[in-house]
Amino acid sequence: MQLPSEQDYIQQISIDCVIFGYQHDQLHVLIPKLKFEGNFFALPSGFVLQDEDLDAAATRILQERTQISGVQLHQFYCFGKANRNSRAFMDLLIRLNPELDNLEQANRKEYDWFTRRFISVGYYALVDINKVIARKSDLDQSVAWRMIGQLPDMIMDHNHIVQRAIHSLRSSFDERLSAFELLPETFTMKELQKMYESIFEKQFPMNNFQKKILDMDVLERLEKKFTGAANKAPYVYRLKDNLRK
Amino acid sequence: MQLPSEQDYIQQISIDCVIFGYQHDQLHVLIPKLKFEGNFFALPSGFVLQDEDLDAAATRILQERTQISGVQLHQFYCFGKANRNSRAFMDLLIRLNPELDNLEQANRKEYDWFTRRFISVGYYALVDINKVIARKSDLDQSVAWRMIGQLPDMIMDHNHIVQRAIHSLRSSFDERLSAFELLPETFTMKELQKMYESIFEKQFPMNNFQKKILDMDVLERLEKKFTGAANKAPYVYRLKDNLRK
């Protein structure tokens, strides 16, 4: 197992990524399980190289974990409590990990920087869950999509970081047309409504919802396919040409 | 002149404060002029102590510069371009400042950390301009309130930081009831409208504006003072009791 080396990175700064996907009518977050005995979960995280833009570091971390590119990341908050350190976690890591346990005391010093206080910048991304090939880091045992209503307890303040990301996602959801990054290219009004209800954790009356969405003036309605049978299929929509990426 | 010492602070992290005040129907920002020959301006900035919460550091910097307390600071963005360093500025500082110029080369090393790349967390505050006693730092020649439409060119990306702060201020202006932090306790509808027009840099039709504000349901209208004369004075409003701080 190789931890990042001290010289290359800005000290005491980390990035935590909240990667949102949508499936089975539910918002999900990609969460690695760490490879130590017991159940330890942590957001996909990483550090910033000395000559690397903060945004570029976040993009790199996202790509390493999902194998997808071209996804927009949104910086949403910088977490700076003085007690943000992974000392307890690293003690555990050293206790549980045979490889680290065998290190000479001198070599352990290499990892000291890793246990200092870190200020962490939170980024979130909205991804098409079907395009993601989730990849483990050296520290991960597995990675899984987890429903926002059923997140595991994570280390440090990572659950709080997800809550902040959801808050930020909601507050700019319409402005950024975020829904359409999570849905396939075409969808019915009902599918769109279900997504909104999942993200905002509340019901929207159908007529109001449809009016609100159509008033945004961002969708085009596609022709129904003529099937010969009585056509009860719902209309299918997609984002207007000039708004698609 | 004393620069902060390396050991006490988190390396490569700074805080930049955008302090907004309102006077003469215009939004202003508190901007120090640095004490070197030529015109160098920079936002009030500072560093984070190793055992200090990020928010607490921002509050400390605000208090040092304004002598006011109890003001809420809003973190709005973390600036992380790889080229964010003050090397050019420090070269200038050393060239222009006689005291630094006389330092032995060895002693100059003390200031090296100061010239590295910094990731900076932006905070903005809304203050009652009449309560501020602006105080200079060791690096400042003077400090002044400057209209947002007429800001001087500042060092590094500080002008960009102010633009981001204004964007953030606007986007949560109603939700945070920000207007009422900038106005005196009582005000007329016209005064409030002028403030909105200054912040958003656009005109609001009077009737629409009044309706929008009254619909927010946050104001109480005070009784007009009976003066005996034909009473043409406008109504005076203030924030409802339970919303005042």
User: CA B152 to CA A130: how far, in whole Å?
Assistant: 49
Sort strands B45-49 and A219-222 into parallel, antiparallel or unpaired. Answer: unpaired
CB contact under 8 A, B117 and A10: yes
Nearest to A71 by CA among A6, A133, A125: A125
Residues of B in contact with A47 (CB under 8 A): none
List the single best residue of A8, A10, A55 to mutate versus B (max B Cβ within 10 A). Answer: A10
pTM over 0.95: no
B→A interface, C-beta within 8 Å: 10-13, 48, 50-57, 75, 77-82, 117, 119, 121
Residue A18, C-beta contacts closer than 8 angstroms, at least 6 positions apart: A29, A43, A122, A123, A124, A125, A161, A162, A165
- Quote the minimal CA–CA distance from B52 to chain A in Å: 5
Dist. CA B119–CA A13, nearest whole Å: 9
Whether B80 and A12 lie within 8 Å, measured CB to CB? no
Condensed to tens digits (0 to 9), the pLDDT of residues A211-228 reads 999 999 999 999 776 666
Distance CA A28, CA A20 (A): 6
What is the rounded distance in angstroms from the CA atom of residue A38 to the CA atom of residue A41?
Answer: 10
How many other CB atoms are there within 10 angstroms of residue B35's CB atom? 17
Helix H or strand E segment including B196:
helix B189-200
**Structure confidence at residue B87 (pLDDT):** 74
Q: At CB < 8 Å, which residues of chain A contact B?
A: 10-13, 48, 50-57, 75, 77-82, 117, 119, 121
Min Cα separation A47/chain B (Å): 12
Could you read off the pLDDT of A88-147 as tens digits, one per residue?
Answer: 777 766 666 666 656 555 566 666 777 889 999 999 999 988 888 888 887 888 999 999
Q: Is the separation of the CB atoms in B18 and B158 below 8 Å? A: no
Model confidence pLDDT, tens digit, residues A36-92: 777 889 999 999 999 999 999 999 999 998 998 888 899 999 999 999 987 777 776
Among A75, A78, A85, A176, the residue to mutate for chain B (most B Cβ within 10 A): A78
Closest-CA distance, B117 to chain A, in angstroms, reads: 8
Q: Which residues pair with A236 in a beta bridge?
A: A188, A222
Contact B50, B156 (CB under 8 A): no
| Integer CA distances (angstroms), A91 to A36, B77, B143, in order | 12, 33, 48
Query: Sign of the C-alpha dihedral, residues B179, B185, B187, B189?
Result: positive
pLDDT value at residue A105: 59
Listed in order, strand segments (DSSP E) in chain B are 9-23, 26-34, 45-49, 73-79, 119-126, 140-147, 186-188, 219-222, 236-239
Domain ranges, ordered by start, for chain B: 4-171, 179-243
Residues whose CB falls within 8 Å of the CB of residue B106, separated by 6 or more in sequence, listed in order:
none
The answer to whether the CB atoms of A81 and B119 lie below 8 A apart is no
Instruction: Measure Cα distances from A5 to A2, A119, A176, B9, B222 in Å.
Output: 9, 18, 37, 21, 64
Q: Are B4-171 and B179-243 in the same CATH fold?
A: no
Which residue(s) pair with B5 in the sheet? none
- Do B54 and A117 count as a contact with CB atoms less than 8 A apart? no
C-alpha–C-alpha distance, residues B50 and A118, integer Å? 10
**Neighboring chain B residues of A124 at a CB cutoff of 8 Å:** none
Residues in chain A with CB shorter than 8 Å from the CB of B13 are 12-13, 119
Contact across the interface for B78 and A52, Cβ inside 8 Å: no
How confident is residue A230, by pLDDT bands cut at 50, 70 and 90? low
Of B6, B1, B2, residue with least CA distance to B115: B6
- Low-confidence spans in chain B with pLDDT less than 50: 1
pLDDT digits (tens, 9 = 90+) for A143-164: 999 999 999 999 999 999 999 9
Residue of chain B nearest A74, judged by CA positions: B77
Ordered alpha helix ranges (H), A27-116: 54-66, 87-96, 98-101, 105-108
Judged by CB atoms closer than 8 Å, whether chains meet at B80 and A50 is answered as: no
Q: How far apart are the C-alpha atoms of A80 and A103, rounded to whole Å?
A: 31
CA distances from residue A84 to A116, A159, A180, B52, B53 in whole angstroms, order as listed: 8, 13, 35, 11, 9
Structure tokens at B64: 């040092």
Instruction: Name the class of domain B4-171.
Output: alpha beta
Confidence at residue B1, expressed as pLDDT on a 0 to 100 scale: 46
- The per-residue pLDDT for A5 is 67
What's residue B133's pLDDT? Answer: 87
**What is the C-alpha to C-alpha distance for residues A225 and B142, in angstroms, rounded to an integer?**
71
Question: B77 contacts in A (CB within 8 Å)?
Answer: 75
CATH architecture of A179-243: Orthogonal Bundle (1.10)
ipTM reported for the complex, 2 dp: 0.85
Question: Does A81 contact B121 at a Cβ distance shorter than 8 Å?
Answer: no
Count chain A–chain B contacts defined by CB atoms under 8 A. 62
Picking from B218, B230, B228, the residue whose alpha carbon sits closest to that of residue B187 is B218
- Give the helix/strand (H/E) hosting A212: helix A206-216
Nearest to B82 among A53, A78, A80 (CB): A53
* Cα three-residue angle B70-B74-B78, rounded to 5 degrees: 140
